[in-house]
């Protein structure tokens, strides 16, 4: 699936200091009935964002005007549960390009990377610092530098290095996906089958 290239991003961030945020929360199953990849952002965190009568729940961070930005910061073990790629689509569609946590579930991490979202893993201590920075200033700016694999809290200048597979980094930087690459391997695959 085509997505925009990613190089660096400077943005404020939305905090979600909850652990084990599973994909059923990111996008509840009843919203998986589409046959196209459209409009998933509206249902991102649906049951945390809206009450039964579809009224926004005031204290949920996505509903608070003071929080904004293209970076989502979540508690540890983000994205556990179902393999639904709709979770990544919903996050991208809503407008996030980076998700930061101290720990990601495997399938979610892969799905994010396949959809132009950069998952940034930082230490639990650094994660606390990010939450603290947002707490001190809701508009605190963060810089995500993919080339140098660095995440910086602009206000304090503190930064953390993050790792990313070099191949995936290349894909993200150039907006490429695996599928074209695999299709180009046709002959090698045919040879393997023998």
Partner 1 sequence: MEAKTLFDKIWDSHVVKEVEGGPSVIYIDRHFIHEVTSPVAFLGLEKRGAKVLRPEKTVATPDHNVPTIDQHLSIKDELSRNQVEMLKKNCAKHGIVYHGLGTEGHGVVHIIGPEMGITQPGMTIVCGDSHTSTHGAFGAIAFGIGTSEVEMVLASQCIMQPKPKKMLISVNGKLNKGVTAKDIALYVIAQISTSGGTGHFVEFAGSAIESLTMEGRMTLCNMSIECGARGGMIAPDQTTFDYVKGREFAPKGEAWDKTLAYWKTLKSDADAVFDTVYEFDAANIEPMITFGTNPGMGIGISKNVPTSAGLIGNDKLTYEKSLKYMGYTEGDKMVGKQIDYVFVGSCTNGRIEDFRAFAQFVKGKKKADNVTAWIVPGSRAVEKQIIAEGLVEILNEAGFELRQPGCSACLAMNDDKIPEGKYSVSTSNRNFEGRQGPGARTLLASPLTAAAAAVTGKITDPREFL
Strand partners, 50: 56
Looking at 9, 24, 62, 129, which residue binds partner 1 (CB under 8 A)?
24
In the complex, what is the shortest distance from the CB of residue 90 to partner 1, in angstroms, rounded to a whole number? Answer: 13
In the complex, the smallest distance separating the C-beta of residue 81 from partner 1, rounded to whole angstroms, is: 6
Does the protein bind partner 1 through residue 57 (CB under 8 A)? no
| Cβ proximity to partner 1, 69 vs 110, nearer residue | 110
CA–CA separation, 45 vs 10, rounded Å?
Answer: 24
**What token pair was written down for 194?**
């023998």
Q: Pick from 12, 14, 25, 130: which binds partner 1 (CB under 8 A)?
A: 25
DSSP states of 65-117: TT--SSEEEE-SSBTBS---THHHHHHHHHT--EEEES-B-HHHHHHHHTTT-
Per-residue CA distances from 102 to 56, 73, 105, 136 (Å): 28, 9, 11, 20
Is 41 a binding residue for partner 1 by CB under 8 A? The answer is: no
Minimum CB separation of residue 93 from partner 1 in Å reads 13
For residues 121 and 160, what is the distance between their CA atoms, to the nearest angstrom? 9
Q: What residues make contact with partner 1 under the rule CB under 8 A?
A: 1, 17-20, 22, 24-25, 28-30, 32-37, 47, 52, 75-77, 80-86, 88, 103-107, 110-111, 114-115, 128, 165-168, 177-183, 185-186, 188-189, 192-193
């Amino acid at each position: 699936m085509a997505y925009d290239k990613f190089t660096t991003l400077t943005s404020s961030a939305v905090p979600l200091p909850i652990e084990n945020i599973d994909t059923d929360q990111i996008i509840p199953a009843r919203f998986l009935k589409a046959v196209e990849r459209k409009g998933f952002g509206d249902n991102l965190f649906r049951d945390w964002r809206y009450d039964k009568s579809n009224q926004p729940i005031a204290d949920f961070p996505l509903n608070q005007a003071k929080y904004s930005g293209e970076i989502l910061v979540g508690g540890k073990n983000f994205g556990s549960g179902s393999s639904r790629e709709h979770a990544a689509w919903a996050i991208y569609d809503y407008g996030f390009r980076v998700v930061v946590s101290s720990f990601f579930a495997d399938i979610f991490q892969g799905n994010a990377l396949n959809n132009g979202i950069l998952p940034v893993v930082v230490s639990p201590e650094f994660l606390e610092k990010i939450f603290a920075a947002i707490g001190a200033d809701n508009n605190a700016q963060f810089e995500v530098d993919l080339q140098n694999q660095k995440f910086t809290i602009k206000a304090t200048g503190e930064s953390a290095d993050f790792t990313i597979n070099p191949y995936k980094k290349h894909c993200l930087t150039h907006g490429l996906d695996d599928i074209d690459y695999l299709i180009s391997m046709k002959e090698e695959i045919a040879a393997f089958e023998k």
